[in-house]
Structures are given as C-alpha cells and as structure tokens.
C-alpha cells in the first residue's frame, strides 16, 4: 500500500473538511532540513541579547493574533471558543518567563574559584543545531512554546511538526516568529506522514527531537532515534493517568468543581480558563486531566452528588458559540472509544449517574508554572522543558580549559 501524500483536517463538531496540506517528497524534506542546518550556523552567531529582543518582539506579534486564534483553534480541535483565550494567556506567560531567564540560563559558568595559576576554565552552553519539535493537538500552542522558543533563543534552528488535527497553529506560530525577526529557515513548519516523521527523526542533520504526545507515539520516536546513525538526543513528554484523593475534611463544594472542571469559579464570568486540570475540561483531552478519584468513605455519597451537580451545569453544543461550555472530542473514533469504556464499566457493575439525554446535541491542564521543570511526567517519558533546565536539554555543555600567559 502506498504512503499518503496529504492530510485533511476534519472539524470535530461538523465532520466537514477544514484544510488540506500536501506532504513533501523525501528530497524536499531533505532540502528543508539542509536549509535549517545552514541557517542555524548563522543564527547561532547572533548575540544572545539580540535573540532575546527578537523573542520579546515575537510576543507582541503573537498578541496581535488574539482575536484570530480562538475560532481557528476551535475549528481545528473542538474546544469551545470561549475557552481558547486561556491557552493564549498560558502561551504568553511561558514565553515571557523563558525569555526572562534566557540570559542567566545560557550564560557561561565560571570556575574562577578553582582555577589554578595560569589557567582559566569555564563551561559554555552551545546550541545543538537542528531541533525537531513534534507537537500535540490538544494544547498545540501551550505545549509547543515549551520547546520551540527556548530552542530558538538558545541558537538552534527548529523544524515544527504539528498534529494533522491542528496544522494551522504551527503555521501561525512560525509566521509570528518570522515577523519578529527570526530568519525564515530557522523556523520551518513540516506536515509529514508517519514515514516522513521517521525519516526526519533519523536524518543526520537533525540533532535533537522533542516529542509530546501518546506513549505509543513516544516509543515510535525513540525507536527511530535509536536506530539512526550516531547518538541523537530525544525528549519525550507523554500521557498519564492522574488520580485525585478526597479527604474526609475536604471542602466538598470546592473539591467537586476542581475535580470536574479544574477551577472552582469556572462557571463564573470572570473565571481564568487557562488554569484547569479537571476531568471534563477540554472534554477530558488533557495530559493533566483527573482520570480517577479516590474519596474517603465518610464523604463519598455527598461528593458524588456534588460532582453530578457540577457536570449537569455543562452545556454541550456547537463550540463556535460562546454559550457552549463543553465541546466534542476530537474525532468520531475517540467518541466511540469513550462510549465503549462507559458501556464496559456499566456492564461490569458501575452505576451511570448522568442522563445521556442531557448531551444528545453532540453529533460527533492544563496549567503549569513555567518556573517549574516539566519533566517526562508520570513515569512516562524523559527530558525536561520549561524552567532553566529546559535550556539545558536544548544546548550542549562545552568545557573550556585555557592556558594563559602570566607574568
């Protein structure tokens, strides 16, 4: 069977095609990677202070898109348009922080205290070269900023491969970087088939791969990297199964809202929708979403009743309408998997508490303080993004030991 030559993004709530992108040929992909490698050499010579200034200008360019992004994002992956501004805020917060620590994180590490007479030693962070970033669809901006901007500020070139579900997010991201002053070949967007992804991962001019997605996808990326010639760096940020425990002394009104939606005031008009890790936010499609709950037996029945009450406040419908608070899952296949999980649970003895008629209109986290290291969490993955350590994995420590003339 021949490999696909293009991809088409399907709007989750209407199942209509939104946009099609044609894959490059193998030779076109190789040419793109060569351009990135050549451009990186010049970009790495741009003083760090100037790269940081360009990064700051990029934030201004991205802010200009605040009115355009919500609907585009909703059409691609189905999250209610009213909740998209939260991802924009989180994106800009992470960008601002990573820019603020770039100078100190990438500065030379002096060893004067232990230098011997006639010698000077220090450790310098040098860019790796070409970094391939493979981004997910569920939070395409909020996750890709973790690797893309630090890699570029550190002096690398980036090849950004978005999910086929959210291709426009990467294109918009890259265009804002170019408008801010990043050379066009230093940030390039790649739409690739699985076979071409493997080729890109194994390409000798690709020095590092940053992947965020499923455990299965992460294994495939790591396998491709291991089988490539040389020794290629890989960072994997993969899915998890987040539990919650409700103690006997918990505030149950607050707790129920947190478990379901991720923010106590989320149904109030001034809620900050970027701080959400609940089970239902983003239709449960978050690596930080609560997936199982343990409760002390003394509060179990009351907690269940309060959780049901919170869930019943959701309005499922067309995610492009501002009154909708719960959108569709990303695909029909995902919906079928969820229905089967529910059916299997009920068959095994679980008790359905939500009347399905409330959600018949359906036809078809994720927050992290950027000062904290986001590691390969939940025993799945490796590598670090965000925080000062995010720069460490995108640079190479070069030890310098110089003999100097003394009088």
Cα-Cα-Cα-Cα dihedral sign, residues 11, 12, 13, 15: positive
Is 291 tagged catalytic?
Answer: no
Between 26 and 310, name the one with better pLDDT.
Answer: 26
Assess contact for 141 and 87: CB atoms under 8 A: yes
* Least trusted range by pLDDT, from 175-184, 203-212, 304-313: 304-313
Q: Which of 237, 258, 312, 336 is catalytic?
A: 237
Work out the number of other CB atoms within 10 angstroms of the CB of residue 404. 9
Range from 9-13, 356-360, 400-404 carrying the lowest mean pLDDT? 400-404
Range with lowest mean pLDDT among 89-103, 173-187, 290-304 = 290-304
Would the pLDDT of 197 be above 60? yes
pTM of the model: 0.81
pLDDT for residue 109 is more than 70: yes
Confidence of residue 118 (pLDDT cuts 50, 70, 90): confident
Residue 145 has pLDDT above 60, yes or no: yes
pLDDT at 290: 76
Q: What is the per-residue pLDDT for 6?
A: 95
Domains of the chain by start residue, with CATH? 25-239+371-403 (3.40.605.10), 242-359 (3.40.309.10)
Render pLDDT for 321-379 as a digit per residue (tens, 0 to 9). Answer: 888 777 677 667 777 777 787 777 778 887 877 777 666 544 433 334 444 444 443 44
Confidence at residue 1, expressed as pLDDT on a 0 to 100 scale: 61
Q: How far apart are CA 201 and CA 211, in angstroms?
A: 10
């Amino acid at each position: 069977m021949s490999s696909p030559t293009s991809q088409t993004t399907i709007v989750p709530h209407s199942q209509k095609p939104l946009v099609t992108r044609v894959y490059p040929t193998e030779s076109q992909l190789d040419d793109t990677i060569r351009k990135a490698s050549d451009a990186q050499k010049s970009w790495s010579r741009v003083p760090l202070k100037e790269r940081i200034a360009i990064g700051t200008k990029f934030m201004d360019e991205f802010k200009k898109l605040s009115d355009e992004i919500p609907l585009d994002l909703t059409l691609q992956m189905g999250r209610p348009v009213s909740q998209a501004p939260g991802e924009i805020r989180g994106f800009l917060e992470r960008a601002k922080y990573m820019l603020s620590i770039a100078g100190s994180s990438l500065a030379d590490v002096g060893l004067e205290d232990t230098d011997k007479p006639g010698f000077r030693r220090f450790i310098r962070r040098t860019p790796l070269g070409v970094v391939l970033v493979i981004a997910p669809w569920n939070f395409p901006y909020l996750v890709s900023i973790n690797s893309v901007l630090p890699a570029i500020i550190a002096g690398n070139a980036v090849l950004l491969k978005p999910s086929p579900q959210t291709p426009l997010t990467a294109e918009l991201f890259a265009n804002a970087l170019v408008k801010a002053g990043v050379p066009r070949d230093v940030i390039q967007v790649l739409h690739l088939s699985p076979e071409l992804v493997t080729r890109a991962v194994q390409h000798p001019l690709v020095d590092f791969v940053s992947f965020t997605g499923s455990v299965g996808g992460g294994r495939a990326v790591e396998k491709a990297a291991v089988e490539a010639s040389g020794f290629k760096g890989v960072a994997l940020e993969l899915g998890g199964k987040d539990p919650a425990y409700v103690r006997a002394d918990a505030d149950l009104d607050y707790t129920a809202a947190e478990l379901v939606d991720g923010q106590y005031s989320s149904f109030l008009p001034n809620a900050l929708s970027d701080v959400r890790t609940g089970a239902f936010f983003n239709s449960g499609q978050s690596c930080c979403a609560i997936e199982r709950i343990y409760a002390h037996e003394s509060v179990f029945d009351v907690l269940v009743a309060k959780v049901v009450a919170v869930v019943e406040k959701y309005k499922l419908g067309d995610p492009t309408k501002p009154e909708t608070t719960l959108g569709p899952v990303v695909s029909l296949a995902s919906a079928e998997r969820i229905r089967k999980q529910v059916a299997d649970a009920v068959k095994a003895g679980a008790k359905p508490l939500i009347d399905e008629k409330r959600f018949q209109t359906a036809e078809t986290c994720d927050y992290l303080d950027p000062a904290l290291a986001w590691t390969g969490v939940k025993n799945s993955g490796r590598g670090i993004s965000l925080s000062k350590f995010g720069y460490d994995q995108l640079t190479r420590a070069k030890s310098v030991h110089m003999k100097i003339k003394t009088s």
